[in-house]
Amino acid sequence: MVVTYKDWHKMLPYTLHGYRTSVRTSMGATPYSLVYGMEAVLPRRVKNAFDKKVRPCKFRKGDMVLKKILSNVKDQRGKWAPNYEGPYVVKHAFSEGALVLTNAEDET
C-alpha cells in the first residue's frame, strides 16, 4: 500500500497490470488481449509453474559439473555447436550459488 505520495511509483506496475487486464465494455475485451492476441498470465501463475519445474541445486566441493557456453559470437555450426563444456570440478562453492571451477584433468 502507498504510505505517502512519494511511493506512487512502487505501485505503478500493479496498477498498470490491473488496467490492462480488465475488460472494456465498449470493446468486449481487455487491452492486453487486443495487443498480444491472448489473455495475460498472472505473474503468480508463472512463478508457480517455474517452481514446479525448476529445483534449486546445491553444489559441494569436489562435485563434477558442466559449464554452459554463453557465446556472444554466432558459431558457424549453428544448432550443432556444443552447449556445454567441461567437465569441471567444483573447487569452492559460495552460499549464493557462485562456484570456483577447475579442470577435471588438473585434479588428477
**What pLDDT does 96 receive?**
84
**Per-residue pLDDT, 108:** 53
Whether this prediction's pTM lies above 0.75 is answered by: no
What are 31's strand-pairing partners?
none
Annotated domain spans of the chain: 5-53, 64-107
What is the per-residue pLDDT for 88? Answer: 95
**CA 54 to centroid of chain Cα atoms:** 10
pLDDT per residue as tens, the chain (108 positions): 657 778 888 889 888 999 999 999 898 999 999 999 999 888 888 999 999 998 888 899 999 999 999 888 887 888 898 999 989 999 999 988 899 999 988 765
DSSP 64: E
Amino acid occupying residue 5:
Y
